[in-house]
């Protein structure tokens, strides 16, 4: 760590990991409700658990990105952060807003929350992933603006590298696309059309810039490969992301009332979306193979390589699986979607945040890398979580294939609920694997407390 | 990557390519907006019950368990076509009689909706079921 102000990243990383735990706990609750339908009913209905699960995920990834930016930008710019104090204040505001929102979800019925937060004045609630009360959304915008101001000022006064340029473009894009969460026409088709401008243009658009920039930063540090080479890769990858991903949005415009030419455009462009993810895999492996130093932090190297592989599997392979419109006609909105959503979010965004945490946390705690014992534990956490996620994905895919077959392909289609009963075995297997994931997360977190200092 | 291909060339391709595809996407959005009136049943929005029903749908977070035109959660049945599958009276009776309380079965909460809210919701679901979705879902089970 070269600049004191990089330390503001630390609370962001810790906050992110705390929310990660909450996310997984509520995932396990839902996983059980899938098979024991009345579990915790009426105290925590499924939809409430789902909001906590998905919103905690999004917020902790945002915190991870913010922490990453606060760590990377001063070091790349070769100057202190514009205002470390503002960064810390914003952290607490963000955490409080997230905490209050979760309390709101759990403490009162959603309709009550909508009423007391004045949703009818500017209705934005009740849409998937955007369930937050309008006031929370405004809070997110305020935090994001303060964050972007702080980083952009730092960027402007210091050295401008390709990595910070791409990172800031991605973060500005993230904030700008989020403004579409305030667009909620009564016309359902238009509502859905612009809803995807937040969801798809995040994960298959601007977030890929952030992903690429974080990965590039960590790879420069741990491999010592020339910046020139890494930055070229970075630009090639993000170019591929945007030229496929923008019109690739069309893979969500097949069946929501939009014109049918989207079936062609969406299928063709999104079928190319795996290419940048594959480039990311090659990038990570190539750079590590050409390394000029043996960095003592082997765990961070493992996370970086893991991101390369798992993002390709989750987004690239599992995305391609259901992205052509004739296939999507049958798989749309089934467990296949859930399978893909899990591995893509984990493989790309969870893993890249854990990569930067793995690299930066030891440095912020005053050492180049953790002790061998601590790294071994961290790597156990890596393998337990990653392998569990592979199996969760496989079980959900199994459930999805059966579901499609029984409910949609069959000449005597079964009803939704009857079909769910038929595939319960897969849900049990998913829940068991989810428990292993939780154990992996516990081992991972424990590695932070394991005598870190003794080496390096 | 080869040395003859410079970082600044890569950067220029990135900015050029991005601007081009953003403009393409905006043009397609414009074209879509022009064509939507033929498919999206917007005439039904003249009935205020439809928008009011959408608010009931949103304010109770129905999407947290159900899909609507295939988007949402996968815990409970597709509702984009429920109007066609079950009809208005069944829908209202169903919502009023929740939760079933059958042990071990997935439970839907009771939202204590008024008769007006139920009618609005049904108007919204009827509207949703008449949007031209290119023949999706494959059959009435959703
Ligand atoms: C890291 C990148 C990605 C993430 C995090 C991600 C995540 C998700 C999530 C969460 C959904 C479900 C949205 C909902 O609830 O309705 C989804 C849907 C979908 N994704 Fe991705 N995705 C990624 C990349 C991709 C790629 C590269 C492709 C194509 C090659 C793809 C194809 C699809 C398709 C076709 C759907 C719609 C599924 C349906 O019709 O139900 N995704 N994605
Ligand atoms: C490990 C235990 C986990 C369990 C048991 C679990 C369970 C679930 C369940 C039951 C749902 C709701 C599916 C539905 O709508 O019917 C869900 C949704 C979701 N979960 Fe998890 N989850 C776990 C971990 C994770 C992790 C680690 C991530 C992110 C990396 C994640 C990301 C998501 C996303 C993005 C959705 C929305 C999917 C969509 O809309 O397609 N979950 N999860
Ligand atoms: Fe997408």
Token pair, residue A128, equals 């998937």
β-bridge partners, B68: B71
From A39, A342, A348, A349, mutation site for ligand 2 pocket: most ligand atoms within 8 A of C-beta: A342
Q: Which residues of A382-394 are buried (b: 16+ CB within 10 A; e: fewer)?
A: bebbbebbbbbbb
pLDDT reading at A316 higher than 90: yes
Q: A34 to chain B nearest CA, in Å?
A: 7
Say whether pLDDT at A456 is over 90: no
CA A335 – ligand 3 centroid, Å: 16
User: Do residue B63 and residue B83 come from a single domain?
Assistant: yes
CA pseudo-torsion sign A426, A322, B64, A403: negative
| B109: closest CA of chain A, how far (Å) | 7
Residue A455 has pLDDT above 60, yes or no: no
Q: If you average pLDDT over residues A346-372, what whole number do you get?
A: 97
* Pair B103, B34 in one domain: no
The percent of residues above 70 in pLDDT, for chain A, comes to 99
Residue A314 CA to residue A328 CA, distance in Å, equals 17
Clarify whether residues B130 and B76 are in a common domain: yes
Which of A384, A347, A353 has its CA nearest to residue A20? A353
Q: What is the mean pLDDT of residues A355-370?
A: 97
Instruction: Give B10-21 pLDDT, tens digit per residue.
Output: 999 999 999 999
The string of pLDDT tens digits covering residues B30-85 is 999 999 999 999 999 999 999 999 999 999 999 999 999 999 999 999 999 999 99
Task: Please name the member of A46, A47, A232 whose beta carbon is closest to the beta carbon of B10.
Answer: A232
Phi and psi, residue B68, nearest 5° = -135, 115
Residue of A nearest to B103 (CA): A38
Are residue B103 and residue B128 in the same domain, yes or no? Answer: yes
Q: Report CA-CA distances (Å) from B136 to A191, A260, B40, B75.
A: 18, 12, 14, 19
Cα dihedral sign for A139, B62, B49, B96? negative
List of chain B residues whose C-beta atoms are within 8 Å of the C-beta of residue A427: none
For residue A324 the two structure tokens come to: 């052509």
Element (H, E) at B67: strand B67-68
pLDDT, tens only, A265-285: 999 999 999 999 999 999 999
The answer to whether residues B59 and B34 belong to one domain is no
A17 vs A12, A23, A29, A181, CA distance in Å? 9, 10, 19, 26
Same-domain pairing of B76 and B94:
yes
**What is the CB neighbour count within 10 angstroms for residue A183?**
14
Q: Is the CB of A57 under 6 A from ligand 2?
A: yes
Nearest in space to A148 (alpha carbons), one of A162, A161, A167: A167
Mean pLDDT, residues A382-389: 98
The complex scores an ipTM of: 0.98
- Do both B65 and B134 map to the same domain? yes
- Encode pLDDT of A71-108 as tens digits: 999 999 999 999 999 999 999 999 999 999 999 999 99
Residues B118 and B75 in one domain: yes
Query: Tell me, what DSSP letter sits at residue A253?
Result: S
Q: Considering CB atoms only, which of B14, B127, B133 is closest to A238? A: B14
pLDDT confidence band for A189 (50 / 70 / 90): very high
Q: How does the average pLDDT of chain A come out, rounded?
A: 97
Residues B74 and B16 in one domain: no
Chain B residue with minimum CA distance to A227: B7
Residue B136 is nearest to which of A120, A236, A329, comparing CB atoms?
Answer: A329
Q: For position A205, what pLDDT does the model report?
A: 98
CATH number at residue B106: 1.10.760.10
Q: Which two tokens stand for residue B99?
A: 């939760």
Distance from CA of B77 to the nearest CA of A (A): 6
Q: Residue A207's closest CA among A175, A229, A164?
A: A175
Q: How many domains does chain B have?
A: 2
Judge: A186–B58 Cβ closer than 8 Å, yes or no. no
With CB atoms and an 8 Å threshold, state whether B55 touches A127.
Answer: no
User: What is the model's pTM?
Assistant: 0.97
Q: Is residue B46 located within the same domain as residue B114?
A: yes
**Is A194 a residue whose pLDDT tops 50?**
yes
SS3 A298: helix
Same domain, B62 and B29: no
What is chain B's Cα-based Rg? Answer: 22
Q: Which domain holds residue B130?
A: 41-142
Question: Which pLDDT tens digit goes with each residue over A108-158?
Answer: 999 999 999 999 999 999 999 999 999 999 999 999 999 999 999 999 999
C-alpha distances in angstroms, B89 versus B45, B85, B116, B128, B140? 22, 12, 14, 17, 18
Tell me the pLDDT band of A1, cut-offs 50, 70 and 90. Answer: confident
Residue A31 Cβ contacting ligand 2 at under 6 Å: yes
pLDDT tens-digit series, residues A14-48: 999 999 999 999 999 999 999 999 999 999 999 99
């Amino acid at each position: 760590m070269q600049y004191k102000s990089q330390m503001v990243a630390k609370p962001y990383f810790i906050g992110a990991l705390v929310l990660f735990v909450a996310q997984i706990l509520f995932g396990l609750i839902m996983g059980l409700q899938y098979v024991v339908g009345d579990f915790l009913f009426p105290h925590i209905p499924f939809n409430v658990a789902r909001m906590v699960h998905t919103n905690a995920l999004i917020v902790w990834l945002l915190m991870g990105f913010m922490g990453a930016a606060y760590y990377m930008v001063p070091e790349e710019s070769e100057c202190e952060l514009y205002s470390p104090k503002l960064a810390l204040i914003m952290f607490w505001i963000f955490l409080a807003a997230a905490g209050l929102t979760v309390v709101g979800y759990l403490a009162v019925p959603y309709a009550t929350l909508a009423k007391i937060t004045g949703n009818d004045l500017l209705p934005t609630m009740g849409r998937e992933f955007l369930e937050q009360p309008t006031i929370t959304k405004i809070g997110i915008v305020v935090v994001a603006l303060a964050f972007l101001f702080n980083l952009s000022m730092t960027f402007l006064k210091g050295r401008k590298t390709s990595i910070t340029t791409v990172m800031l473009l991605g973060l500005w894009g993230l904030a700008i696309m989020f403004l579409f969460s305030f667009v909620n026409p009564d016309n359902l088709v238009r509502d859905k059309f612009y809803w995807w401008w937040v969801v798809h243009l995040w994960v298959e658009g601007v977030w890929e810039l952030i992903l690429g920039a974080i990965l590039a930063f960590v790879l420069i540090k741990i491999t010592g490969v020339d910046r020139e080479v890494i930055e070229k890769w970075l630009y090639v990858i993000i170019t591929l992301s945007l030229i496929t991903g923008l019109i690739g949005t069309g893979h969500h415009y097949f069946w929501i009332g939009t014109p049918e030419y989207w079936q062609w455009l969406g299928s063709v462009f999104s079928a190319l979306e795996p290419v940048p993810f594959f480039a990311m895999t090659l990038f990570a492996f190539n750079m590590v193979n050409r390394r000029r130093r043996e960095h003592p932090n082997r765990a961070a190297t493992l996370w970086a390589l893991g991101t390369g592989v798992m993002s390709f599997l989750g987004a690239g392979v599992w995305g391609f699986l259901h992205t052509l419109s004739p296939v999507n006609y049958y798989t749309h909105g089934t467990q296949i979607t859930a399978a893909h959503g899990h591995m893509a979010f984990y493989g790309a965004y969870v893993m890249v945040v854990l990569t930067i945490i793995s690299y930066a946390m030891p440095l912020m705690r005053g050492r180049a890398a953790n002790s061998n014992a601590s790294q071994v534990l961290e790597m156990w956490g890596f393998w337990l979580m990653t392998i569990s996620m592979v199996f969760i994905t496989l079980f959900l895919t199994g459930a999805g294939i059966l579901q499609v077959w029984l409910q949609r392909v069959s000449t005597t289609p079964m009803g939704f609920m009857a079909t769910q009963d038929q595939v319960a075995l897969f849900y049990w297997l998913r829940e068991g694997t989810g428990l292993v994931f939780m154990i992996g997360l516990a081992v991972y977190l424990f590695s932070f407390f394991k005598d870190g200092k003794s080496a390096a | 990557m080869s040395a003859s291909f410079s970082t600044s060339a890569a950067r220029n391709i990135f900015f050029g390519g991005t601007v081009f595809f953003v403009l393409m996407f905006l043009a397609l959005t414009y074209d879509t907006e022009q064509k939507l009136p033929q498919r999206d049943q917007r005439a039904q929005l003249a009935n205020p019950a439809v928008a009011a029903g959408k608010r009931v749908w949103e304010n109770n977070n129905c999407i947290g368990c159900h899909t609507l035109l295939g988007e949402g959660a996968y815990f409970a049945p597709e509702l984009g076509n429920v109007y066609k599958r079950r009809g208005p009276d069944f829908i209202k009776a169903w919502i009023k009689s929740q939760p079933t309380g059958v042990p071990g079965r997935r439970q839907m909460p009771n939202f204590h909706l008024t008769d007006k809210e139920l009618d609005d919701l049904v108007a919204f679901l009827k509207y949703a079921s008449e949007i031209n979705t290119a023949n999706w879902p494959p059959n009435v089970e959703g």
